[in-house]
Amino acid sequence: MPDVPTPATLAATDLVDAGHPAVRAFAREHARGASERERAVALVLAVRDGFRYDPYRIDLSPGGMRASAVLANGYGWCVPKAALLAAAARAAGIPARLGFADVRNHLSTERMRQTMKTDLFIWHGYTDLWIDGAWRKATPAFNLSLCEKFGLLPLDFDGVHDSLYHPFDRAGNRHMEYVRQRGSFDDLPLAELVADFHAIYGDWLPGNELHSRLEGQDFLSDVAREVAASTTGKAG
C-alpha cells in the first residue's frame, strides 16, 4: 500500500490542534512562499527558531503537550515543537504527521544525566511533511541560537532532503545517534509515550524526588557552563 497522505494528515486533533486560533494565525503569518515547498521550509524555520528548546520543563499532560502550548509558553522540547510544526503545516494545507525515534543525545547536562540516569532519549519527535510527492523529515527542536552558542551544526531544511540530527558537532564531538525508529503517527501517541517515560525516566518526571534538581534551573546556563569547562580542559 503506498505511503501517501490521508485525510488524517490534514485533520486537527486534540493535541495536533491545527484548528486552534493561535496555530492558524501562526500558520498564516509564517507559511509564506511561492510554492508549497517554500511555505513548508518557512514554517520549519519559524518553529525551530521562534521557540527555544528546553528539556528541563516538560509537562506530559494533554494541556502541556498540545501544539498550541508551545505558542503560549514560548519554549518547548522536541515532541511539542514537532507537534506545533505538524499542526501549523496542516493549518496551511500541507499534509503532516509526527515521527519518533530513540536517540542517544550527547547535548545533555550533568544535571539531566543524574536525573535521567541515561543519555538515551526515547520518543524523540520530528515531523514528516508531504512536499512534492514525498514525505520529508524535519526536526525543529534545536533553535539556531542554541546551535550557534554551543558549536552545533544547525538542522537546516530545504524541503528536499531529510533534516535529521547530525552525528557530530562542529568540533567533531559526538552529538546524536539514532538507535531505533518508532515510525510515523497521524496523532501524538501520548498514552504510550507517557507510559514509556514513567517506565524509563520515573525520577525525571514532575512529582518525583530527583525532578527537583531541574526545577528552577536553566538548561542554557548549564550547557554553557559545561561547554566552557570542556573547552578549558582541552586547552589546558
CATH number for the domain that contains residue 36: 3.10.620
Distance CA 16, CA 83 (A): 6
116 located within any domain:
yes
Tell me the CA distances in angstroms from 62 to 38, 94, 131, 188, one per residue in order: 31, 24, 29, 10
Do residues 187 and 82 touch, judged by C-beta distance below 8 A?
no
Q: For 47-155, where are the E strands, in sequence order?
A: 52-53, 75-76, 96-105, 120-131, 134-138
Among 160, 185, 76, 224, smallest CA distance to 232 is for 224
Q: What is the pLDDT of residues 80-101, one digit of tens each?
A: 999 999 999 999 999 999 999 9
The predicted pLDDT at position 192 comes to: 97
Q: What is the pLDDT of residues 144-161, one digit of tens each?
A: 998 888 888 888 999 999
**Residue 210 confidence class, pLDDT cut points 50, 70, 90:** low
236 located within any domain:
no
Better-predicted residue by pLDDT, 203 or 81: 81
Q: What is the pLDDT of residues 163-202, one digit of tens each?
A: 988 777 777 777 788 999 999 999 999 999 999 998 888 7
The structural domain count of the chain equals 1
173 located within any domain:
yes
What residue numbers bound the domain in which 199 lies?
7-231
The three grid cell numbers given for residue 156, joined into one nine-digit string: 537546516
Report the predicted TM-score, pTM, of the whole model to 2 decimal places. Answer: 0.91
